[in-house]
């Protein structure tokens, strides 16, 4: 199966709606796709105590949103790193600074949310938290890699209309998937959620259990509960989603790229998503 054009997809949905699960399934089915999960990237930084991680830890713990500025730098850096966008100028600041720092652990164009996110050192973190030189705009907006192999899926970013506006300046999204599941169903599901932290793989004790309880299917490593899956923090995350999702959906509806999919379970949603992806992107 070949891609007709570069797919640039974002997933929008309430916390726990199963964005990570859908992302993983799409990647498995379409190996040409790669994914960035903003939550996984942030958690990776928190876990490894990078300056960026330390900066965002309390926000994540309380179910708040990390600042748009920081998120944008983090994601645009990752887009550069994977070769999906290029700086307008070969000496663009983002490329020189960021690739020196992050490139050590991420191969440009490496695929899959399966690989762990880039490790960030102090230099990168300092760059990401400095106000200047956001995505190389000193030289104008970056160029977009139009090759179908530069297809990607963003899970968890953009999350606000402001983030979407700024992402548009870097790379145009051609499919925004809004995943909808009733809140009661999601809350029930969150209580059984276990994750494999290094890869971001998600399991659920009732819907999608690991083959060996408490262990990742692929690596056999232990699964953990996410710190922000407690009922209280979940409520705060839901509240943030409720506030920000409507303008975000409107943003993509106006662009004509919004597609909504509903279901009570991930298993119900996946085939619909796969069909739509094939219809839009497969030759
Ligand atoms: P799920 O992964 O179950 O769909 P979620 O969307 O709430 O749930 P993540 O996407 O993993 O979870 O994000 C976890 C936390 O990371 C968020 O609560 C928020 O604090 C921070 N975060 C992630 N993406 C963004 C973003 N685009 N803007 C601001 N904060 C973000
Ligand atoms: Mg997620």
Given a cut of 60, whether residue 261 has pLDDT beyond it is yes
Return the ligand number nearest the Cα of 164.
Answer: 1
Ligand 1: which residue has its CA nearest to atom 23? 39
- Judging by beta carbons within 10 Å of its beta carbon (0-12, 13-18, 19+), is residue 91 exposed, middle or buried? exposed
More confident site: 83 or 117: 83
Taking only the tens place, the pLDDT of each residue in 101-145 is 333 333 344 444 434 445 555 655 565 655 444 444 555 678 899
Most confident of 80-89, 116-125, 145-154: 145-154
Quote the ipTM score.
0.91
Q: From the alpha carbon of 229, which atom of ligand 1 is closest?
A: 3
Only one residue has tokens 């999350």, namely: 159
Nearest to 45 by CA among 17, 73, 21: 73
Taking only the tens place, the pLDDT of each residue in 190-206 is 889 999 999 999 999 98
Ligand 1: which residue has its CA nearest to atom 20? 60
Residue 156: φ, ψ to 5°? 100, 0
* Model pLDDT, residue 141: 77
Pocket test for ligand 1, best of 15, 167, 248 (most atoms within 8 A of CB): 15
Report the mean per-residue pLDDT for the chain. 85
Residue 145: φ, ψ to 5°? -75, 115
pTM of the complete model: 0.81
15-29, 160-174, 223-237, 238-252: the lowest-pLDDT one: 223-237
Nearest to 179 by CA among 255, 248, 78: 248
Return the ligand number nearest the Cα of 71.
Answer: 1
Residue 136 CA to residue 165 CA, distance in Å, equals: 17
Question: 158 C-alpha vs ligand 2 centroid, how far in Å?
Answer: 13
């Amino acid at each position: 199966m070949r891609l007709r054009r570069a797919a640039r997809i974002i997933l929008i949905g309430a916390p726990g709606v199963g964005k990570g699960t859908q992302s993983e399934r799409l990647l498995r089915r379409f190996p040409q796709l790669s994914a960035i999960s903003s939550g996984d990237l942030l958690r990776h930084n928190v876990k490894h105590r990078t300056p960026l991680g330390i900066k965002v830890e309390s926000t994540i713990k309380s179910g708040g949103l990390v600042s748009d500025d920081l998120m944008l730098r983090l994601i645009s850096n990752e887009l550069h790193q994977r070769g999906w966008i290029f700086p307008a100028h070969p000496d663009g600041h983002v490329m020189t600074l960021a690739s020196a720092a992050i490139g050590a652990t991420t191969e440009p164009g490496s695929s899959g949310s399966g690989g762990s996110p880039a490790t960030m050192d102090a230099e990168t973190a300092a760059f990401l938290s400095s106000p200047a030189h956001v995505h190389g705009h000193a030289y104008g907006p970056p160029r977009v890699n139009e090759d179908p192999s530069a297809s990607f899926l963003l899970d968890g970013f953009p999350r606000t209309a402001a983030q979407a506006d700024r992402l548009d300046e870097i790379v145009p999204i051609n499919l925004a998937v809004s995943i909808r599941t009733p809140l009661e169903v999601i809350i029930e599901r969150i209580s059984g959620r276990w994750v494999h932290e290094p890869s971001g793989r998600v399991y659920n004790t009732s819907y999608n259990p690991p083959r060996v309880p408490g262990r990742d299917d692929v690596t056999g490593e232990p699964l953990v509960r996410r710190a922000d899956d407690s009922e209280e923090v979940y409520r705060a995350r839901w509240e943030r989603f409720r506030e920000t999702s409507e303008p975000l959906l409107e943003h993509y509806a106006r662009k004509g790229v919004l597609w909504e999919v509903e279901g009570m379970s991930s298993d119900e949603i996946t085939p619909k998503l796969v069909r739509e992806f094939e219809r839009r992107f497969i030759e």
